Every structure is written in structure tokens, then in C-alpha cells.
Amino acid sequence: MNQLPYLYSGARFTCDVTEELASMLLQGQPGGLSKAIFVNSGGEATDAAIKLATQYWHERGMPQKQHVIARKQSYHGNTIGALCVSGHKSRRAMYRHWLSHNVSFVDPCFAYRLKGNESDQDYVQRLAYQLEAGILRIGPENVSAFVAETVSGTTLGCLPAVPGYFKAVREICDKHDVLLILDEIMCGMGKTGTMHAWEQEGISGPDIQMIGKALGGGFVPLSGVLLRNKIFGALAEGS
């Protein structure tokens, strides 16, 4: 504890402890994730992820890419920014006049309630078509990111997605130049058997990832945002 920073230093300075934590989390650059930013809560991590995505497109000369697509019945944190991309109606209701209209929602991958008389493959394809239709309706030139929990939270019974779902999502995001942001605040840090839950989904990883909860282990309020090098590179070379 004596080595932890005791004065707020903003984003310009760091210390050995945070450097060592980042190195441990990013060892081998899983999925191309190469940089870490640490904050205090899951809501803050979500806010930071959305802001980083916005800044990324600004630095790439596409500032109009500000729309975010999220999933119904999702929950990404308690701040106003995090509630904007959370699809939990009862948690949004009281604050609906504060929430951004620059967010739209698609169905979650919730086979227990939402899968019809269809195969897993057909169900995944239906959800993939819905996501792609949402991107095309808004215009890929306007969509910044798609945000999802790799394993859903309590709002969907903590269920993993149907096999193949995130692979289809990753392909659609790549096809339309949309960032994939995965929220592993609840499900990450080894809780699913791998350090990152997405490692079991057959994908190359997200562009931006939120982590928390188990990261601090209940000892300190701690969360983080992990970035692919392409995100950090655009920010570092930009304004």
C-alpha cells in the first residue's frame, strides 16, 4: 500500500504498481489488447470506453461516428453515461430525459427466453441479421461501437451466449468498421475459466474491453479499460 500513488496525477503520470498491474493483465497482448487505463468503478470504465471510442473516430477523421448500439436488458453501470448504453428499462425509466438519444438497442443473445423453434445456428444468424440491419439503418458511417456483456449479468440470468454468436458479431463489426466493446466487469478476470471470457468465444478479441469487480477483489475500488494497439495508436498520434 505504501507504493500506491497518494496524490491524484491525472493521466500524465503513473507509478510502478499500476505499470506492473497493466503488464500482468496484458502479458502476451491477448487479442491484441496492449494498453490499460485504470479507474474506480464499472460505470466509470463504461464511460471511459465510450469516450475513447468517440475520440478514436475523431482522430481518424470521422467525428460523425458517435452512435452506439447496445443490447436490450443489459446493464453497464450506474453513471448517466453507462445508463445511456444500458438496456434495462426499469433502471433507465426515472432518468430517461437525461439519457442520450444517440444509442439504439438490439435483442440480446438469450436463448432461454428468446430462441424460437430454431437451431442455435439459425438463432445466431437471426441476431446477426438484426445487428447488421441496425447498423445499416443508422448508417455505418455514423456508428461508433457495439457494446455487449460477454456473459450477461443478473438482468439475463448470468447466461453465456449461444456458441458462434460473438464470432458473428465480430465479423459484422469488422465488415462495417464498427468497434466491438465487450463489458467483462462482472464476468472477467478468470471467472469463466479463462482470464477473459471472450477467449472461449473463438474470436480475436474486442477493440475495447472493460474489466472490474474481481480485479480489485473487494479490497480496493478498481476497474479498467483495455485497448487494442490500433485504438491507442490513433489517440497517441492525434490531438
| Domain annotation covers residue 5 | no
Range of the domain at 154: 34-237
Give the closest residue to 181 by CA, choosing from 44, 60, 48, 88: 48
Element (H, E) at 69: strand 67-71
| Domain annotation covers residue 1 | no
- 150-186: string of b/e by CB count within 10 Å (b at 16+)? bbbbebbeeebbbebbbbbbbebbeebebbbbbbbbb
pLDDT at 37: 92
Beta bridge mates, 227: 35, 208
* Average pLDDT score over residue span 30-50: 95
Tens-digit pLDDT profile for residues 47-95: 999 999 999 999 999 999 999 999 999 999 999 999 999 999 889 999 9
Residue with cell 458517435: 66
| Domain annotation covers residue 213 | yes
Which has more confidence, 152 or 165?
A: 165
Overall number of domains in the chain: 1
Residue count (the chain): 239
Positive or negative torsion for Cα 199, 205, 206, 212: positive
| Domain annotation covers residue 18 | no
| Domain annotation covers residue 113 | yes
Mean predicted lDDT score pLDDT of the chain:
92
- 3-state SS, residue 223: strand
* Average pLDDT score over residue span 114-118: 92
Tens-digit pLDDT profile for residues 177-219: 999 999 999 999 989 999 999 999 999 999 999 999 999 888 8
Using CA atoms of 39, 144, 33, 31 in order, give the dihedral in degrees to the nearest 10.
140
Confidence (pTM): 0.93
Range ranked top by mean pLDDT from 49-53, 114-118, 159-163? 49-53
**Model confidence band, residue 2 (pLDDT cutoffs 50, 70, 90):** low
**Alpha carbon separation from 239 to 11, 56, 179, 212 (Å, rounded):** 15, 10, 20, 29
| Domain annotation covers residue 26 | no
| Domain annotation covers residue 8 | no
What's the longest Cα–Cα distance across the chain?
59
* Average pLDDT score over residue span 140-145: 98
pLDDT at 5: 57
CATH number at residue 82: 3.40.640.10
